[in-house]
Amino acid sequence: MNEQTKILDGRRILVVEDDYLVALGLSTVLEEAGAHVVGPLASAQEAVALLEEGREEVDAAVLDVDLNGEKSYPVADALASRNIRFIFATGYG
């Protein structure tokens, strides 16, 4: 295993994605890289609640921008306020 594949070992990555197949594929790739996937969750409301309640420890997150017409920006705000790194992933230009 090279150094780059070890980067995600044991990291807890929150996945917020409303498309089941995309969430499944992303989760599989993250798990194969050694990460523990938190979720996936399909709504911003669920993700913010998880963070506010402290039910799960999260090291980083992957957020779909559009969740069934709802934006994931509140999740990004909740992550940023906790100094948790995140990226936006979207199929839109």
Per-residue confidence at 86, pLDDT binned at 50, 70, 90? very high
What distance in Å separates the CA atoms of residue 18 and residue 65, rounded to the nearest whole number?
Answer: 10
Residues 38-63: tens digit of each pLDDT: 999 999 999 999 999 988 899 999 99
- Domain 13-89, classified CATH 3.40.50.300, yes or no: no
**Phi then psi dihedrals of residue 28, to 5 deg:** -60, -45
pLDDT at 14 over 90: yes
In the predicted structure, residue 2 carries a pLDDT above the cut 60: no
At 7, is the pLDDT very low, low, confident or very high (cuts 50, 70, 90)?
A: confident
| 19 against 1, higher pLDDT | 19
Q: How far apart are CA 53 and CA 92, in angstroms?
A: 31
Alpha carbons within 13 A on the beta-carbon side of 22: 15
Of 71, 91, 80, nearest to 26 (Cα)? Answer: 91
Boundaries of every domain in the chain: 13-89
